Structure 1
Amino acid sequence: MSHTAHIPSHRKPRRSASKIALRAGVAGGVLSTLAVAGASGPAFAAEPVTETIEMPTITADLSTQVAQSADATQQAANSYALQAEQDLAVAKAAKQAKADQALAEKKAEAKKKAEAEAKRKAEEARASRSAERTTLSTASHVAAPASGSVASVIAFLKAQLGDAYVMGGTGPNSWDCSGLTQAAFAQAGVSLPRVSQDQSTAGTPVSLDNLQVGDLLYWGSAGSAYHVGVYIGNGQYLDAANPSKGVVIQDLSGYPATGAVRVL
């Protein structure tokens, strides 16, 4: 026997590996249980989920609907733009029509004023000419002898210069050829027939080479003359020529007469 066998050892006896492993396993199990309990505790304490939200799934139909909606929106925008353009065009057209109407009314008013002014001037000229004729007629009646006066005939004829030619006209502002000569010789107290045919034989025939102032000229045959006028001297005659000339003085050389008669 060893001399130290009776002395107890100061070292603690070793724990066996199996005991240590068992203890570690138990401790790990406890900690795991606590960890699970701690993690699940608040979840069990919260309200339970009663609704489920499903996110829409984008399908081909949904894509088509979106595209169609975009097209409709674009079409609406285009329609609004076209309507705006049409409204603007209508407004412009209305404005232009109003301006055109105002211009037309202005022109019509100006034309109306011009016509009124022309009418006024024509009436003034007519009144002046009538007054002149009245003066000449009065003077010729005063100066003419009882048997008539060539001067009164010529004065009356010249007072009608510029009057219009109208078929069948007998004055006071329009004449035909025989109507003028009839009125002229009436100033001297001579009553001539109304038409050219009869006037061409109403006096004493005279030669065209021996004409005197106041002789009645005719064109055509005596008794069937188609035109008459009065010789006023210097190779000229006065007549109511035609619608384009009216009452004028003309040269015999330009339109020679066929014959002549002396009435006074």
Structure 2
Amino acid sequence: MSAQTHVPSLLSRAGTASVLLAAVGGTMLAPGAVSEAHALPAAAKALDVAASMKGAPYSYGATGPHRFDCSGLTLFSYKKAGKALPRTAQQQYNRTHHISAAGRRQGDLVFFHSGGSVYHVGIYAGHGKIWHSPKSGQVVRLERIWSRSVLYGRVR
């Protein structure tokens, strides 16, 4: 029998979403589990949201939709992508899955630190750049990562 003749019986037994995953070579997981592939669309959406806020003014403590501080921008962007983050950069770092610089991908969070504390966060845009809300008097923008004192986190 061909794969096409098995589709109706698979649909009735496994459910459409599982069959679609199998048809495109995805991994089927237990209910409630989140695959790496599922996390990527949220990261891509959060990155798009952050980029769409280009030019929004910095305001300490602001979480959008028209003004942001650094962690307010990441919180807002991931919320629009369906993921919850805590309020501050340090809390966001504590909540993410920590990854290496070599493993970073677009949509991952970039945390700037001094000593043992995180003081700034942005969303990795690729090519060594982040979207972030820098500081008072400035606006949300794309900027090259300017420091080696960075850590990376992936939102799950």
Superposition TM-score, scaled by structure 1 size = 0.42
Q: Residue 227 of structure 1 aligns to a residue in which SS?
A: strand
Conserved 8 A contact 1:216-1:260: yes
Q: Percent identity?
A: 31
Conserved 8 A contact 1:208-1:259: yes
Question: Counterpart in 2 of 1:218?
Answer: 111
Runs of 4+ residues deviating >6 angstroms: none
Question: Counterpart in 2 of 1:159?
Answer: 52
**CA gap 1:257/1:186 in 2 versus in 1, 3 angstroms:** farther
Question: Counterpart in 1 of 2:73?
Answer: 180
- Pick the aligned partner of 2:139 from 234, 246, 249: 246
Output aligned runs, 1:88-237, within 5 Å.
Answer: 148-220=41-113, 224-237=117-130
Q: Residue 200 of structure 1 aligns to a residue in which SS?
A: helix
CA distance in 1, matches of 2:93, 2:114: 8
Ranked by relative contact order (alpha carbons within 8 Å, sequence separation 6 or more), the top structure is 2
What is the CA deviation profile of residues 75-128 of structure 1, one whole-angstrom value per residue up to 9, with x for unaligned ones? xxxxxxxxxxxxxxxxxxxxxxxxxxxxxxxxxxxxxxxxxxxxxxxxxxxxxx
Question: Counterpart in 2 of 1:255?
Answer: 147
**CA gap 1:146/1:205 in 2 versus in 1, 3 angstroms:** closer
Q: Between Structure 1 and Structure 2, which shows a larger proportion of helix residues?
A: 1
Highest CA radius of gyration, 1 or 2? 1
Q: Which residues of structure 1 form unaligned runs of 5+?
A: 1-144
CA distance in 2, matches of 1:200, 1:240: 17
Conserved 8 A contact 2:56-2:67: yes
- Count of aligned pairs between the two proteins: 119
